[in-house]
Structure 1
Amino acid sequence: MPNFNIIQKQNAWFDHFGATDDHHRDVKKNKTKKCTRQHVLISTILAVIVVIVLLTRIPLLQWNSTGITIIGTTGLSGNTTSQLFLPWGLAFDWSNALYITDQKNNRVQKFLMNMSTGSTVSGYGNGTGSSNLNGLIGPLGIIVDENSNIYVSDNGNYRVMYWPNSALSPSLFAGNVILNSEIVVYFLSGSFFFLLYNSNSNNRVCEIGTAGSSMNQLNDAFGLAHDASSSAIYVADSVNNRIMRFFPSNSSGTLVAGGNGNGINNTQLSTPQAVYFDSLSNSLLIANTGAHNIVRWVLGASNWTLVAGSIDGSNGTSSTRLYSASDVTLDPMGNIYIVDRRNHRIQFFPVGESNGTTIAGRTVNIKRLNIFVTFHQISRRSTWPISFLA
């Protein structure tokens, strides 16, 4: 497949957001648009139909297996406003602007709807890394909360930076202090795993252990996801090629995906680096980085189903291939976005019927955000208030 040029990228970006634009959650649009009774009635009927379909026919909905490059140039790194250099994480704000941690360029880029060129919102923008307050070194994880405040895991500086909405400069959010928090997970260089729980009377920190493969150990843990209904925390245990589930009251975890060695079979994972919990289908979306694909693992199942990328573990630059995918997220309409790290691009896979190499897609239940800090990245799946341990 040929690479998409800028015009095609812009059109794809525009077409996608034409389908996801929702004036009900856009404050500015709410001031200028009013729904008639007829529109309200139609919306209600459609909502009921969607709920019925989601509850009864979720397996029939699929993601398209062909991706669209919306940001970056396949295989070409750079530090211009339209280029990326080993991007790592991504997040949406409530206006559907997309934020990307451009790791090797030591910056965070913001891309507005319909645009394939971005603006630097954190870092110096020219690729220069710095430990100054306005600088970054190798940023990885990113969160944008419902108020469009930005939190960046400044990996090379061992800190988390906080950019309030419309602020001209950031502040240190976490680095050398323990903040008053509910529950937070923290990894130090992949070797230590801590839980902080605030019971309103005291803070307790539990060290689970050093790096290892036992049920109370992790080895180079990267991504995190949270199930608010059960308080379970899912961890992408990269070197152990597995996804573990932990509960706040237990120091030992449960294996829920992988754990059968590094491999490309559908019972194995290969250095997973991100995980996304889908409460609607009770499943996990996993960035199966070493196998160059995104897979879905239903909790309780013994194998995964392919979402995007190759089934045989091969990498590539075509629109159906990935190269070291490092993060995955969904927009409000259930379209999937993937950080295709070594292709220096962001891939977009729209919801729609495919030819059988995809899995069930659905409309996302938007959640409020809690931030989990790791040495590597921030994970962003929760209904808790924002909290931190560092």
Structure 2
Amino acid sequence: TTSTSLTTISSTGSSTTSSTTSSTTSSSTSSSTTSSTTNSSITSSTTSSSTSSSTTSSTTSSSTTSSTTTTTITTPFNSCNNLRWNQTGQIVAGTTSGSNANQLRNPSCLYIDNNNTLYICDYDNNRVQKWVQGATTGVTVAGDSTGNQGSTSTLLNNPIDLTFDTNGFMYVVDNGNNRVQKFAPGSINGTTVGGTTGSHSSALTDLNQPTAIDIDNNSNIYILDMWNTRSVKWAPNAIMGTLLISDSSLNNVYGMIRMPNSSNQVYMCNQGSNEISVWTFGASSESMNLQTVNDSQHNSLNNPTGMVLDPYGNLYVADRDNDRVVMYCANSTVGIVVVEDNYSVLSLRKPVALAFDSDLNLYLVSTDSDQVVKLPRI
């Protein structure tokens, strides 16, 4: 906006001032002008208007989605072909034969719990030793720590086998006392739950040199009553057993475990016939046996003593007098040698008991070295 002052001199000698105001508005497309004049005052006004054009553009977008389906074929794990162990053992319990806390004397059984803690039947020391992973000494959890034997609730006489129920109670086959003792967690006082202390008759209330035990999820215990040549079942709080199997061939049997996926069949380590016998409860004879081994030098078992099953249903046998461990794959009757003494590792000789930890490392009890050996899975 511009403002200008003009001066006009009249004939009378006076002056009049007129003003002119100019206003301009501009636009980009059109303009209009209005002008008016009166005497000495001139007003110029310019008005500009604009026309705006608006364009709306609409775009339609097309989208394509591609879907790919991938089919994955899973090959089942072949445990029979792929489970193997390092032949160089690691000694995890025991040193030389003796009764100190770091020693064992003629160990006869092994159990490994969910924490990978070892429980060992220290047969000639009349005690059960608990051995934590990495420890150099064991802790006595049943029997006398110095090796004294006896028949009271706190003593044992040649413990030969043990197992645990789902509540953490330990069951020990007290071979020399012809009974099974049950121990609550943390207690050293046992309760007799099979057999009668001081008695060893053939009555179903008694046991005579029991050698093995297994247990089901209902805490029924299955006992191999060797010198009575039978297997019996004791229910919780029972005062006598129930006869399951009876046969004269069972007079030299040192191991028994229930078969997987079966409620009425067991494997037995029969040293008298150098075989693993399969028995069905109530049967008058074995249904089958495992004896053959795929080995050119020793193609059969020789005094099999202990057994263990892996999660795949494969059976492992401590083939004691062949100084090796034989694997019978599920549904196979021919054994495979998976661990064998090479005459340089004393701790692999005379294996009598086997167990697995949570990583499927294999543990072996050697009566030749009085040690427990760990064989790492490879």
Q: Does the 8 A contact of 2:116 with 2:358 survive in 1?
A: no
CA distance in 2, matches of 1:55, 1:167: 42
CA shift at 1:86, angstroms? 0.9
Q: Please give the TM-score of this superposition, normalised by the length of structure 2.
A: 0.67
Residue correspondence of structure 1 range 125-136 to structure 2 within 5 A: 125-136=145-156
Give ranges in structure 2 of 5+ residues lacking alignment: 1-71, 197-203, 207-217
CA shift at 1:184, angstroms? 5.8
2:303 to 257, 268, 271: 271
Q: Does the 8 A contact of 1:338 with 1:346 survive in 2?
A: yes
Name the CA shift for 1:283/1:190 in 2 (closer, same or farther; >3 Å): farther
Task: Say if 2:270 is the partner of 1:237.
Answer: yes
Q: Does the 8 A contact of 2:112 with 2:355 survive in 1?
A: no
Give ranges in structure 1 of 5+ residues lacking alignment: 1-48, 211-216, 353-390
1:334: which partner in 2? Answer: 360
CA distance in 2, matches of 1:184, 1:264: 39
- The structure with the greater share of residues assigned to strand is 2
1:364: which partner in 2? Answer: none
Choose between structure 1 and 2 for higher RCO, CA contacts under 8 A separated by at least 6 residues: 1
Task: Say if 2:101 is the partner of 1:81.
Answer: yes
CA distance in 2, matches of 1:220, 1:111: 30
Name the CA shift for 1:292/1:191 in 2 (closer, same or farther; >3 Å): farther
Q: Which letter maps to 1:102?
A: D
CA distance in 2, matches of 1:171, 1:133: 7
Q: Does the 8 A contact of 2:245 with 2:283 survive in 1?
A: no
1:367: which partner in 2? Answer: none
2:257: which partner in 1? Answer: 225
Alignment deviations for residues 27-50 of structure 1 (CA, whole Å, 9 cap, x no partner): xxxxxxxxxxxxxxxxxxxxxx9x
1:106: which partner in 2? Answer: 126
Alignment deviations for residues 249-279 of structure 1 (CA, whole Å, 9 cap, x no partner): 422212331179xx98453100101122345
CA distance in 1, matches of 2:161, 2:181: 11
CA distance in 2, matches of 1:80, 1:203: 37
CA distance in 2, matches of 1:294, 1:169: 35
CA distance in 2, matches of 1:146, 1:239: 33
1:23: which partner in 2? Answer: none
1:16: which partner in 2? Answer: none
Q: Which letter maps to 2:345?
A: S
CA distance in 2, matches of 1:82, 1:267: 37
2:376: which partner in 1? Answer: 350
Residue correspondence of structure 1 range 17-28 to structure 2 within 5 A: none
Task: Say if 2:88 is the partner of 1:59.
Answer: no
Alignment deviations for residues 186-205 of structure 1 (CA, whole Å, 9 cap, x no partner): 4434451245598xxx9853
CA distance in 2, matches of 1:102, 1:257: 29
CA distance in 1, matches of 2:116, 2:374: 14
Provide the aligned length of Structure 1 versus Structure 2: 283
SS at match of 1:229: coil
SS at match of 2:77: helix
Q: Does the 8 A contact of 1:276 with 1:285 survive in 2?
A: yes
Name the CA shift for 1:131/1:82 in 2 (closer, same or farther; >3 Å): same
CA distance in 2, matches of 1:204, 1:344: 36
Q: Which letter maps to 1:208?
A: S
Q: Please give the TM-score of this superposition, normalised by the length of structure 1.
A: 0.65
1:148 to 145, 168, 185: 168
